[in-house]
Chain A
C-alpha cells in the first residue's frame, strides 16, 4: 500500500529534462558524451518507472496525485499537477523503456552526425514532455505537454534541416496536428465553462461524466467528446488528418521508432482513454470513434500494400494499427486499446529500429533496391521477422493477443466493424510479407556490401524482439490479468473461438499469399497491377489525399491571402491615401506660407479631425 515511489513520480520527467538542460547549455562541445548523458537520464527514468510499477503491482496502491497553483485569476485557479494511476504507470514504463532503447540505438545510428548532442537534447526534451503528459492530472497540463511533444516531434522530423523534404515534412507535421489541437483547445474552453467549479482535472471529469451524468447536457457532451477526438485524430494520425505521419519519416529512423510509432502518436489513444467517461456519455461520439478507427485501419493498410519506401510502409502500418486502437475505444474496450498500444509500442519500435539497421547498412530506403539481406544481417533479419509476425497477428506473438482482444470487442459491438478489422488484418500480413521477403530473402543486390550493425544497435533489437514475442501473455482470453489491473474490471472480454480462428487465419493467409508472390513466384508480382493499374496507382498515390488537400485548402488559403493583400493595398490603404491627398491638398491651399512638412501635416491632422468630429458628433446630436 506504499506510495513512496508514486510520490516521487515527478522525478521521472525531470531526469531527461535535466539532460536536455545540460546538453543545451554545454552545446556542441559534448559530442558523444552528450549522447551518454541523454541515455543515462532516460535509464534513470526507466528504473524509477519500474519501481513505481512494482509498487503498484505489489499492493492495490491508491492513485496518488499532487497539484499546485499555476495561475490564479480572481477566485479561480488553474492548476498544474501529476497523478499516478495504473494507466499512467503503464505508459511510464512503455515510454521510458522504448526511450532508453532508442537512446542506446541512436548511439550507433547517429554516431557520425556532427549535431549528435543536439539530437540527444531534442530526444531528452521529447522524453521529458511525453512523460509529463502521461503524468498530467488535468486537461490543461495535459494540453501543455501535448503541444510540447508536438514541437519536439517537429524539431526531430526536421532534424536534417538542410533537406527540403525534411523541412516540408516538419512544417506539415506541426500544422496538420495543430488542426487537431484546435479541437482539443476548444474542448478545454467548453469544459472550463461547463464544468462545475471550472474544474479540469481528470478526477472531476470522471465524477461529472460518469457518476453525475446529466450535469452537462448531452449535446454539449457530444460536442466536447468530438472535439477531444479531433485532437486525438491529429496526433494519432487518424483519417482525415493522417497525412503528416508518413511524411514525418524524413526524420532520423530512431525518431520514427520512438515518436512516430511507440509513444507520441499513441498519445491520442491515451487521451481518449483518459477522458473515456466523456465518450461513454455520448453514443454519437463512441460511434464516430469506432467508425473513424475502423476506416483508418483498413484505409492505411491498403496504402501500405503499394508503397516502396521501407519506412513509409511501416508508417502506414502505424496509422492502421492506431486505427485499431481507436476502434477498440469506440466499441468500449479501453483494455483492448491500451493492450494494443502496449504490444504495438514494442513490435513497431522493433520494426522501425530494424528498418534503421537496414538503412544504415545499405543506404537506401527503397525495398525494390534491397534483397537477400537475411544472410548478411542475421540478427536484424531474425528480430525483424519476429516483429513482423507480431504485427501480422500470428499466434502466439504479442500482436495476436492484442488484436484478438480488439476484434472480440468489435464483434460484440457491431459485426461489420469486426469484418473490416479482419480484412485490414489480412492486408497487414500481406504488406509485411511483401516487405520482409523483398528485403531479407531473394538474391543479394550486386554492389551492396551490407553488414550487420554494431551491437549497440542490435542489443535493443534483441530486447524488443523478446518483448514483441512475449508481452502478449499479460492478457489472453484465458488470463485477464492486464485488463483487470488496468481498469479494475473483472470481465472485460471473454474467449471467442471464432475470433481467434479468424484472426489467426487471415494473418496466415496474408503471409502465405505474400510468400507465393515474392518468394515462390507462383503468383506473379504484377498480378494486380497488370489487371487493375488504376487501382495500384490510386494506392501508390495514397488516394490522392495530399493533392486533394492542396487544392481544397492550401490553394484557396493562398488565393484568399493574395486577394486580401490587394484589398489591403488598394482599398484600405487606398482610401487612406485618397483622403490623405484630399486633405493635404486642401491643407496646401490654405497654408502656402507654411513650407515645413511637419506643420503641413499637423494642419492636415486638424482638418481631418474636424471632419471626423462632424461625422461622428453630428450624427449623435442631430
Chain B
C-alpha cells in the first residue's frame, strides 16, 4: 500500500506541512491549533510504525532509501589544463535512508513527539507560534536521523536549533533567555565545528570521478563510505604525482576532521566539560520541550557520533577508545555524584542525564557489537525514561508550583497515580531489570568489559549512585509526611495520564522484550563492524 510512496520524505515533511497549516489557522482557536499539531505528529508516528513493521533488515538496509539530486554547483575549472577536465562540480544530494541505527531513533522521535505534543497542554501563551516551532523542530529531527548526505544532514541539524532557541526563550521559566542563548552559543559552536569537518570530508573523501573527465565533490554518505573502503580512492592515495593534488586525506586532516566532529557531537550529547548548557535547558525550558530535548535532541549527538565519527573515522576512534571510555566514566560518575546533592528535581534529572549518556559513551568505546547495540538501546531507553520524567515534572509543577525537593513531600497520598508512575520512571532510571534502562546499561557494560575491565568496573559504580539520587529525590517528593498545602491536589487527568501510561508501557516492553529493538539493530552494525575490523586488521 505504502510501498510506492516516499515514506521517508513523508515522515520528515509531514510536520512541516502541519507547521504551515498552523500558520494559516486563527491564533485564538487553541483547540484547532492543538488538534492540528496532534494530527501532524501522529501521522509520522503511524508511518514510522508501518516502516518498523515492514522494514526487513535481513533484506538489507537499502530497501527504504530515497535519492535524488538536490544541488549541483559547477566549479571553476580554469586552473586545469584545457581539455583535461570537462566538468567539476559540487554535488549535494537529497538522500534519505533508514537502517538499523536510524530506525530506533525515528521510532523514538515519533513516540516522544506525540507524548510531548499532548503534554503541551500546559503551554499558556502564543499557541500558534508554539505549535509552528514545535512542528518545524520535528521536521529537523526526522531529517537528521534520515539524511544520508553531509550537507543535508547539516541543514536539518541547523533546522532543529532555531525552533529550539525560541521554544526555550519564549515559553521557558524565569531564566529562560539566558538558557536559550547559552543553548545557541554552544550548539552554534558545535555546528561550526561540524561544518568545517564536513567540508574537509567533502573536499577529500567526497571526491569522485567516473571517467576522469567529470569530477565531483559529493556529500553523499554512500559515496563517502565506498571511497573510504576503496584503497585506490583518491583520498586514500598519498602520492605526489597523483593527478589530483590536495585530495589526499592525510592523517593530520583525518585527525582534525575527527576531533572537530567529536567536539560537535560531544557538545550535543553532552560530554564533560561541555555539559553546562544542557543543565540550563533542562531547568529553564518548558517540560514539554525538555521531553524533546532530553528525549531526542541529545540522541542526535549519539547518532552523529556513531554515524559520522565511528563509521568515517574508525581508526582514529579506535585509538581514542580508551580516552572516550575515560570520558564516559567521568560523565557517569560526575553526573551521578552531582545528582546526589541537587535540591531541584529538574537538576537531579539533568545531571542524571549526563550520567546516563556516559554509559552510551562506554558502549561506543567498546568497539564490540554488544556495546554498540547497548549504546543505541541506552539512548532509546534514556529517551523514553527522561521524556516520562519530564512529563511528570510538567504535571507536578502545574499543581505544586515548585520542583524544589525541600518543598515537596508525601505526594503519594493525594497523587497516587502520578507518584506511582514517577516511581516506575525512577526505577527504570536506576536500571531495574524488567525495565528498559537495565538492558541498555547491561549491554554497554558488557561490551566494554571485554577490553577495559577496570574502567568498566568503575563505571558500574554509577548504578549505585543512581539508586542513591533516584530514591533520595523521588522518595523525598512522594513519601514522608505531606505538607498541608498539597491536601487538595487532583491526580492526573486523562490527557496527562495517557502519555504517562504509554511511555511507561514502552519502558516495560523494552525491558521485558528487548529483542524488538536489538533484532532491528542487528543489521545496522553487522557489515559495518566487519568492514572496520578488516580495515584495521589490514
Contacts and interface: CB of A to CB of B under 8 A. Distances in A.
Our verdict on whether A and B bind, yes or no, reads yes
Contacts of B472: 171
Which label, helix, strand, loop or mixed, suits the secondary structure of the A interface?
A: helix
B61 interface: no
B71 interface: no
Interface in A563-622: 564-565, 568, 572-573, 575-576, 580, 597-598, 601-602, 604-606, 608-609, 612-613, 616-617, 620-621
A192 interface: yes
Interface string B439-481: 1001101100110010011001101100110011001001111
Contact of A608 (B189, B275, B334): B189
A179 interface: yes
B471 A598 contact: no
Interface stretch (B24-32, B52-60, B117-125, B254-262): B254-262
A147 interface: yes
Interface stretch (B75-83, B283-291, B297-305, B512-520): B512-520
Contacts of B467: 174-175, 178
A558 B479 contact: no
Contacts, number: 161
A74 B369 contact: yes
B432 A564 contact: no
B358 to A, nearest CB: 14
Contacts of B519: 72
Interface in A318-352: none
B498 to A, nearest CB: 16
A562 interface: yes
A131 to B, nearest CB: 15
Given A565-B338, A604-B185, A73 B518 contact: yes
Contacts of A189: 445-446, 449, 456, 460
A147 B433 contact: yes
Contact of A73 (B191, B369, B456): B369
B192 A606 contact: yes
Interface stretch (A156-164, A273-281, A287-295, A394-402): A156-164
Interface residues of A, number: 60
A500 interface: no
A565 B518 contact: no
A186 interface: yes
Contacts of A558: 340-341
A71 B515 contact: yes
Interface string A136-163: 0000000111011001000000100110
A184 to B, nearest CB: 11
B449 A193 contact: yes
A560 interface: yes
A557 B189 contact: no
B276 interface: yes
A561 B188 contact: no
A170 interface: yes
A144 B449 contact: no
A70 interface: yes
B480 A167 contact: yes
A561 B275 CA distance: 17
Nearest to B470: A174
A605 B475 contact: no
Interface string A171-197: 100110011001001100110110000
B184 interface: yes
Interface in B241-295: 252, 255-256, 259-260, 263, 272-273, 275-277
20 contacts: A70-B514, A71-B439, A74-B370, A144-B434, A147-B434, A158-B479, A162-B413, A164-B481, A167-B479, A170-B479, A174-B471, A175-B467, A186-B460, A561-B337, A561-B338, A572-B273, A601-B181, A604-B185, A605-B192, A609-B192
Question: Which 10 A-B residue pairings sit nearest by Cβ, starting from the closest?
Answer: A605-B188, A561-B341, A609-B192, A144-B433, A167-B479, A161-B479, A573-B276, A189-B449, A74-B369, A620-B252
